[in-house]
């Protein structure tokens, strides 16, 4: 215990001494974090410095092994580090699919060469990753994917199309699923492979959503040459790797949508601007009950995901129970957006023009965007099937 308290003191002092004052108290909305990569831009230049000093210490991935660039911290030390960052109101120095999805998957399934090539670059924020899973005809039935990879010597030639590829236009590398044995059963002919997005034959087209933003893309692959050494685990055994990564993804989605980390304004902040109060209480009893219930549920969910994260750091990797987190977290975010509409009333109906503040127009778009939460990362219906079969052990 004394060693942990010593670590807490030293970590707090180091964070205080090395974090730029301009990033303290800086809150970042979902998608606004420091994702790194070759195309990274920084609205606040100090965020780049914050990334660099944390990466040098290995604290962008504090629990990863030191020899892969991580911090080598224990579970307890990593938890203390998060607590001290919260005390100083410091934002995450790095976020993205490298840290939350492909990195943990490579630690479990990657070759030593793959780990040494990719993990240090992830820690330093040098490479941004995207995910190549869904296809136009393979959404919920992901195992029906048709993107083909044919072995020619030491390379695979890949042809096909991926869709809903988040931030593909800003990414440097993609981890993707390809079909390497079209004669095998669906899940048995799939391979997990890593691809440099700058390879000739890769074309990315952003998709414009009803909300007006374009976080998603289509990715077209035409005779793309990828080294065979980029296969993760075994050829035709990619489904095993894919499921492991999906567990990480669903846990990440749940935490991002459900916990409220990085939100600039609380439910109560919104209410103070739009509804009547009697003293410190919202006057409308029904609305007050909805607000309280949401806050209680959100806090309970955050504490639950924190415990799950601590368990993962102790060596228990996310399993099928991540589907429960994904369902609850995404539905919780939809509840939040519906509640904000009720609070803002007519001011939540704007799209453009005078009469609406920028935050009100963002509220409208955020509500529209939240409709996709229970679809992306596997629909809620798919998650319920996973829970029934793999968590509860119910018969087909």
Residues annotated as catalytic (active site), given as ranges: 249
Q: From the CB of residue 140, how many other CB atoms can be counted at a distance below 10 Å?
A: 12
Q: Which residues of 194-215 are buried (b: 16+ CB within 10 A; e: fewer)?
A: bbebeeeebebebeeeebeeeb
Q: Is 232 left (phi over 0), alpha (psi -120 to 50) or beta?
A: beta
Q: From the CB of residue 354, how many other CB atoms can be counted at a distance below 10 Å?
A: 5
355: three-class secondary structure by DSSP:
coil
End-to-end alpha-carbon separation of the chain, Å? Answer: 49
Q: What's 261's DSSP letter?
A: T
Contact 190, 138 (CB under 8 A): no
Give which of 49, 63, 50 is closest to 100, Cα–Cα: 63
Residues forming beta bridges with residue 162, ordered by sequence position: 219
If residue 327 lies in a helix (H) or strand (E), which one and from where to where?
helix 322-344
Give which of 378, 383, 382, 372 is closest to 321, Cα–Cα: 383
Between CA 95 and CA 226 the distance in angstroms is 26
**What are the tokens at 332?**
């919780």
Geometric angle at alpha carbon 171, from 260 and 373, rounded to 5°: 35
Q: Which residues of 61-91 are buried (b: 16+ CB within 10 A; e: fewer)?
A: bbbbeeebbbbbbbeebbbbbeebbeeeebb
The size of the chain, in residues, is 396
Label residue 17 exposed, middle or buried (CB < 10 Å: 0-12, 13-18, 19+). exposed
Between CA 28 and CA 23 the distance in angstroms is 10
């Amino acid at each position: 215990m004394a060693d942990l308290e010593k670590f807490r003191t030293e970590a707090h002092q180091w964070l205080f001494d090395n974090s730029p004052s301009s990033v303290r108290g800086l809150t970042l909305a979902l998608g606004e974090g420091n994702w790194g990569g070759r195309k990274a831009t920084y609205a606040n230049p100090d965020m780049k410095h914050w990334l660099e000093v944390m990466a040098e210490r290995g604290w962008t991935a504090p629990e990863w092994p030191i020899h892969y660039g991580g911090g080598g911290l224990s579970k307890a030390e990593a938890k203390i580090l998060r607590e001290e960052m919260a005390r100083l109101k410091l934002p995450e120095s790095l976020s993205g699919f490298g840290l939350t999805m492909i990195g943990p998957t490579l630690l479990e399934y990657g070759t030593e060469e793959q780990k040494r090539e990719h993990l240090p670059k992830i820690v330093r924020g040098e490479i941004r990753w995207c995910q190549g899973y869904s296809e136009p005809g393979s959404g919920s039935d992901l195992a029906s994917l048709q993107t083909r990879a044919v072995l020619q010597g030491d390379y695979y030639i890949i042809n096909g199309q991926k869709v809903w590829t988040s931030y593909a236009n800003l990414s440097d590398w993609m981890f993707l699923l390809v079909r390497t044995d079209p004669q095998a059963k669906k899940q048995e002919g799939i391979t997990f492979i890593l691809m440099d997005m700058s390879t000739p034959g890769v074309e990315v087209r952003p998709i414009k959503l009803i909300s007006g933003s374009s976080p998603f893309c289509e990715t077209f692959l035409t005779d793309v040459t990828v080294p065979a050494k980029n296969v993760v685990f075994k050829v035709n055994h990619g489904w095993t790797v894919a499921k492991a990564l999906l567990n990480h993804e669903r846990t990440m989605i749940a935490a991002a949508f459900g916990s409220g980390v990085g939100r600039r304004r609380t439910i109560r902040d919104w209410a103070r601007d739009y509804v009547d109060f009697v003293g410190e209480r919202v006057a409308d009893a029904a609305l007050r009950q909805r607000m309280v219930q949401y806050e209680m549920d959100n806090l309970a969910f955050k504490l639950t995901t924190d415990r799950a994260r601590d368990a993962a750091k102790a060596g228990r990797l996310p399993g099928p129970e991540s589907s429960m987190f994904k369902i609850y977290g995404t539905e919780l975010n939809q509840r939040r957006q519906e509640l904000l509409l009720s609070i803002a009333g007519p001011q939540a109906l704007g799209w453009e023009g005078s009469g609406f503040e920028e935050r009100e127009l963002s509220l409208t778009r955020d509500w529209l965007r939240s409709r996709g939460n229970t679809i992306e990362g596997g629909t809620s219906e798919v998650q319920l099937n996973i829970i029934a079969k793999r968590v509860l052990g119910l018969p087909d």
